Amino acid sequence: MAATDQIRQMVNFILQEAHEKANEIRVKTEHDFNLEKQTLVHEAKLNIQDEFTKKEKDQEIKERITRSAEVGECRVKKMKIRDELLNSLVQEASSKAAVVTKGQNYPQLLQKLIVQGLIKIEESTVAVYCRGEDVDTVKGVIDAAVEEYVEIMKRESSVTLKCNVFVNTDRSQDLPDSSCGGVLLTALKGKIVCDNTMKSRLTLVYEELLPSIRAILFPDEQSKQ
């Protein structure tokens, strides 16, 4: 009996040790599993957050690009409307310049334009071009223009000039109606040119006054600069 009890005790001890070991393994396994699960869940959360952040940034960039494109489109439209308005002012000014050519003071204006052109060119032989409808008027004032030019140069430099100033005889080279009147002078076979047409003078005035015109027409735009 004593041997049997000892064996039974040994078996019970072994079984108890086995149960304790198995329980220890189970606890450790559950701990490791929970730890791994938490790690995986945490990594998944981080991945989701990163993906959300990336999509959020992509959406923000997309919205910025869209807004930028819309702003750019509005600016283009605004510039187009502004240019159309400025061009309409030039067209209106051109039409008014054309009216000047119908006035009684137009011959005097042509004479002054020729004198100014001669002073700029400073050549003894000069060809004068004009519109076909202005040929007779230019011929009527060209001698007076030359005389005035000679007097000015004599007064300023004490030199008496002799000039050969003539109206172009090739009617195919007359200035177009778009010149709005005035004259164009050339010398040295066209190497020197002085454009004193009404359109040219209007363009010069427009370019000089453009900042002021913009300030008047677009005050909000000027205040932003």
> Of 208 and 137, which is predicted with more confidence?
137
**45-59, 170-184, 211-225, range with greatest mean pLDDT:** 170-184
| Cα 96 to Cα 91: distance, rounded to the nearest angstrom | 9
Catalogue the E-assigned strands of the chain: 125-129, 164-167, 182-187, 192-197
- Give the model's pLDDT for residue 216: 67
Average pLDDT, the chain: 83
Helix axes 106-121, 135-157, angle to 10 degrees: 50
Q: Give the count of alpha carbons within 13 A of 106, CB side only.
A: 21
When pLDDT is cut at 50, 70 and 90, the band that residue 86 belongs to is low
Look up residue 11 and give its DSSP letter: H
- What the block records as the tokens of 75 is 């600016």
Q: Does residue 225 surpass a pLDDT of 70?
A: no
